[in-house]
Amino acid sequence: MSDDDAVDVESPDDAEGDAARTNGTAEATAEESTGESADCDADGRERTAGDGDARRSEEALAAAVAEHDEALAREVAALEADLAETREELRERDEAVDELTSKLARVKADFSNYKERAKRKQEEIRERASEALVERLAPVRNDLLRALDQDEGSDLRPGVESTLEKFDEVLADEGVEAIDPDPGEEVDPARHQVMLRVDSDRPEGTIHEVYEPGYEMGDRVLSEAKVTVSTGGE
């Protein structure tokens, strides 16, 4: 065998050395891989934990906001209900005030009407009482007048005249006036009663003479004056 054909044969010691180096390199590489993998796992766990905490914080915040919103919604609903109730109470109170105001106005009007009716009734009662009194007294006055006409020279005349004056004062106090027209006046059918038509120099249809005075109280004629009327010729 020549030198060129010769094959290098490693010795056992060299082979063992190469194997040892190879194993060492592999172990070192494995250790590095294991360290890097551990670091990656630690970082992943930290990131996962951080993400979980963030999600939990967001969820807690969202829950707190939702709870706060619900509380506000309940408070707003309660306030709106109170406002609606208050408005209803105010409306009912306004209606009650309007009703009471209307009732008060009606009561005041009724009371005012009652006072007017009572006043008129009292006046009517007083007038009727006075009228009844005058109706009884008027004939007496007329008798006194006739007595004066018949007894011009009698000693009773001054006393009768005095009595007649007092009598007229009483009638005047009651608002009574005599209807005693002058001769020649026009006849008033509402206040004069024609007893007779006579020939006289008075104009036709005018009063010739008053036979008996009448009496009136206010706008009411209590008794008509009894008169004679001229025919306009003698």
Measured CA distances, 102 to 97, 110, 114 (Å): 8, 12, 18
Question: Are the C-beta atoms of residues 216 and 179 closer than 8 Å to each other?
Answer: yes
Per-residue pLDDT band for 42 (boundaries 50, 70, 90) equals low
| 200-211 per-position pLDDT tens digit | 888 888 999 998
* Mean pLDDT value of segment 51-65: 76
Lowest mean pLDDT among 48-62, 98-112, 118-132: 48-62
Q: How far apart are the first and last CA of the chain?
A: 218
Q: How many other CB atoms are found less than 10 A from the CB of residue 218? A: 13
pLDDT of residue 8: 46
Per-residue pLDDT band for 193 (boundaries 50, 70, 90) equals very high
Highest mean pLDDT among 17-21, 133-137, 215-219: 215-219
| 71-123 per-position pLDDT tens digit | 888 888 888 888 888 999 999 999 999 999 999 999 999 999 999 998 988 88
Higher pLDDT, 51 or 230: 230
> Residue 78 is encoded by which pair of tokens?
């309660």
| 159-182 per-position pLDDT tens digit | 778 788 888 888 888 788 889 999
Per-residue pLDDT band for 50 (boundaries 50, 70, 90) equals low
Q: How far apart are CA 87 and CA 93, in angstroms?
A: 10
pLDDT of residue 195: 92
pLDDT of residue 227: 93
97's enclosing H/E stretch is helix 12-150
Domain ranges for the chain, please list them.
177-234
Per-residue pLDDT band for 135 (boundaries 50, 70, 90) equals confident
Examine the pLDDT at 128 and tell me if it is beyond 90. no
Q: How far apart are CA 4 and CA 203, in angstroms?
A: 202
Examine the pLDDT at 226 and tell me if it is beyond 90. yes
pLDDT of residue 168: 83
Examine the pLDDT at 58 and tell me if it is beyond 60. yes
Q: Is CATH 2.40.40.20 the classification given to domain 177-234?
A: no
232's enclosing H/E stretch is none
The half-sphere exposure of 30 on its side-chain side, counting CA atoms within 13 A, is 6
| 5-34 per-position pLDDT tens digit | 444 444 445 545 555 555 555 555 555 555
